[in-house]
Structure 1
Amino acid sequence: MAESGILLVDKPSGVTSHDVVARARRARGTRKVGHAGTLDPMATGLLVVGVEAATRLLTFIVGLDKTYRTTIRLGSATSTDDAEGDVVDVSSRADLEAVSDERIREGVAALTGDIAQVPSAVSAVKVDGRRAYDRVRAGETVELAARHVTVSRFAVSAVRREARSIDIDAEIDCSTGTYIRALARDLGASLGVGGHLTMLRRTRVGEFSVDEASGADELEQAPILPPADVAARVLGALEVTSDVARDLRHGKRVAVPEAFDGQRAAIAPDGELIGVVERRGDTMKSTMNMPERQGEDR
């Protein structure tokens, strides 16, 4: 059986997140592989991949905040809000020259904080059971509802001006569900010149950094993070006795050994992840259990 754990992968441009999952399946010799959050084919950076029983942890990872590095090009809009789409509008030279650094700062400030954002029409959002991008490719007109997201940091590091475009390099911290393409689109629209992404790289998912990641062609030898280590980083560790571990596996409520709020990763004395527990008053109960290792007496 393949080793259970989490792979941190630096996805290259030009491949889909599903392509990376397929490579991981071949490299680790198992079909039980999934990921925590899609990256577009154009995008690069951190993809969190679960293998075997550790796929159960992906639901706790997918909702974590993320950091992106990006380049936004002002001066034209595209059908996909990124460089892979067809150009659908080009601003005049006069309109582009009217975009001062101060107006860019104001536009960025308006897109920082808690905002209502309409996802790109070619996003993975489901509409009546089908992905929006599938409907668009089939020739349908897709209108998506706005959703509330949080952009906690939108830091511009450089503004480069050309005759017919302005490129903005930025680093963005945001909540899950934020579409960076939509930020580029909306910044360009607010400035009256159109905008789209030309580069996107995810550098962080929660506590996990792309600096820890392996290349997509290195998955057979890539280090795999043990489930207990991952769960502890995401939720915080709660060490329990062997008796408590057994009761949690059997679905029993047990007394809370120490004060905590929300959920914690329950860790057995041998360092194994028992599962995720949730506090309910003075007791706690497992909301997700990991399978026991085979061939052990308990």
Structure 2
Amino acid sequence: MTSHDVVARVRRLAGTRKVGHAGTLDPMATGLLLIGVEGSTRLLHHLVGLDKEYLATIRLGWGTTTDDAEGEALPAASADLVAGLGREAVLARMAELTGTIDQVPSSVSAVKVDGKRAYRRVRDGEAVDLPARTVTVSVFEAGAQRAGDGWLDLDVRVACSSGTYVRALARDLGAGLGVGGHLTALRRTRIGAFDVAEAGGLEGFDVAAARLAPAAAARRVLPAIGVDEDGVRDLRHGKRIAAPPGAGTIAAGDPIAAVGPGDVLVAVVERRGPQLKVVTGFPAEEGA
């Protein structure tokens, strides 16, 4: 299933078309997808940039045109070369791909090139040369490995900044070892403070029972402040309000969840000097 397929299913289950998601999963991938329903779709913008964690399997021995198992195979390395890969050499190359690195996204990706997705250009027969981007791979950890004739499968755990391509890590690991590599399995296990262990399976999914209140969801990812009834009224009218003392420790321009009486999300705001300015407002019926 694609992420769009999941959204379509949730629309039917929730009985509304106002459904969105906070970050696409490749069709071959499984795991966590954050869904916004009704007013909470307004929060999705603030969830897209959260760090992610994945479990994946990398096959060393050859690369593919898409850097994963769905692409066409590129020329394979010799079986002897693959068989000679030592664990220490693999770990050393993984260490080089850990930390703040410059990564070239996979050509078959959602990166836009002159307003058009890279994967669409590739499918249209165009050559795509994407520039490297700076990403952070905080964890690139090796687990179990399995070997066969001409291939070595390596289970890995990756924690990374938004915009990191695990497929590209597989490609670059294989290239650095001189044998080629591609991704054969990918499961997203965490997005920010949201863990896949909390998620429900889509079959028979109870949307009403699974929904988080907007204020609860916002607190997972943003600092929160309380506002009184006067502040609620002013923010809902788009007015600026005086920042409470606790807001002074939050950097100017950083998003803040403004929560009113009854644990109602009133707005996402940002500090502008001594005042708070609305970035995203939530009407009364949606903030609850």
SS in 1 for 2:34: strand
The structure with the largest helix share of the pair is: 2
CA distance in 1 between partners of 2:77 and 2:121 (Å): 28
Q: Alignment partner for residue 286 of structure 1, among 278, 283, 288?
A: 278
Task: Please state how far the C-alpha of 1:37 moved relative to its aligned partner.
Answer: 0.6
Q: Alignment partner for residue 269 of structure 1, among 257, 261, 270?
A: 261
Q: Which amino acid aligns with 1:236?
A: P
Q: Which amino acid aligns with 2:229?
A: S
Moved over 3 A (4+): 219-222
Give the structure 2 partner of residue 234 of structure 1.
Answer: 221
Q: Which amino acid aligns with 1:267?
A: V
Deviates more, 1:111-120 or 1:82-91: 82-91
**Correspondences of 1:124-139 after superposition (within 5 Å):** 124-139=110-125
SS in 1 for 2:225: strand
SS in 1 for 2:127: coil
CA distance in 1 between partners of 2:204 and 2:114 (Å): 38
Q: Alignment partner for residue 150 of structure 2, among 149, 156, 164?
A: 164
**Correspondences of 1:52-71 after superposition (within 5 Å):** 52-71=38-57
Give the structure 2 partner of residue 155 of structure 1.
Answer: 141
Q: Alignment partner for residue 218 of structure 1, among 189, 201, 204?
A: 204
Give the structure 1 partner of residue 237 of structure 2.
Answer: 250
Q: Which amino acid aligns with 2:244?
A: P
Task: Please state how far the C-alpha of 1:20 moved relative to its aligned partner.
Answer: 0.3
Task: Please state how far the C-alpha of 1:271 moved relative to its aligned partner.
Answer: 1.1
When normalised by structure 1's length, the TM-score is: 0.91
Q: Alignment partner for residue 127 of structure 2, among 116, 127, 141?
A: 141
User: Aligned Cα RMSD in Å?
Assistant: 1.5
When normalised by structure 2's length, the TM-score is: 0.94
Deviates more, 1:276-285 or 1:201-210: 276-285
Q: Percent identity?
A: 57
Give the structure 2 partner of residue 33 of structure 1.
Answer: 19
Question: CA contact under 8 A between 2:270 and 2:276: conserved in structure 1?
Answer: yes
CA distance in 1 between partners of 2:206 and 2:83 (Å): 51
Task: Please state how far the C-alpha of 1:137 moved relative to its aligned partner.
Answer: 1.2
> Structure 1, residues 74-96: CA drift from partner, whole Å, max 9, x if none?
00111111111111121102221
| Structure 2, gaps ≥5 residues long | none
Question: CA contact under 8 A between 2:57 and 2:183: conserved in structure 1?
Answer: yes
Task: Please state how far the C-alpha of 1:220 moved relative to its aligned partner.
Answer: 4.2
Task: Please state how far the C-alpha of 1:264 moved relative to its aligned partner.
Answer: 1.5
SS in 1 for 2:140: strand
Q: Which amino acid aligns with 1:291?
A: P
Q: Which amino acid aligns with 1:286?
A: V
Give the structure 2 partner of residue 9 of structure 1.
Answer: none
Q: Which amino acid aligns with 2:270?
A: E
Give the structure 1 partner of residue 188 of structure 2.
Answer: 202
Q: Which amino acid aligns with 1:239?
A: G
Q: Which amino acid aligns with 1:63?
A: G
> Structure 1, residues 228-278: CA drift from partner, whole Å, max 9, x if none?
110111102211111111111112221111223132211111111001111
| Structure 1, gaps ≥5 residues long | 1-14
> Structure 1, residues 180-235: CA drift from partner, whole Å, max 9, x if none?
00000000000000000111000000000001111122334451111111011110
Question: CA contact under 8 A between 2:80 and 2:150: conserved in structure 1?
Answer: no
Q: Which amino acid aligns with 2:28?
A: M
CA distance in 2 between partners of 1:87 and 1:71 (Å): 17
**Correspondences of 1:74-89 after superposition (within 5 Å):** 74-89=60-75
Alignment pair present for 1:178 and 2:164: yes
Alignment pair present for 1:193 and 2:158: no
Alignment pair present for 1:90 and 2:73: no
Q: Which amino acid aligns with 2:195?
A: S
**Alignment coverage as a number of residue pairs:** 281
Q: Which amino acid aligns with 2:5?
A: D
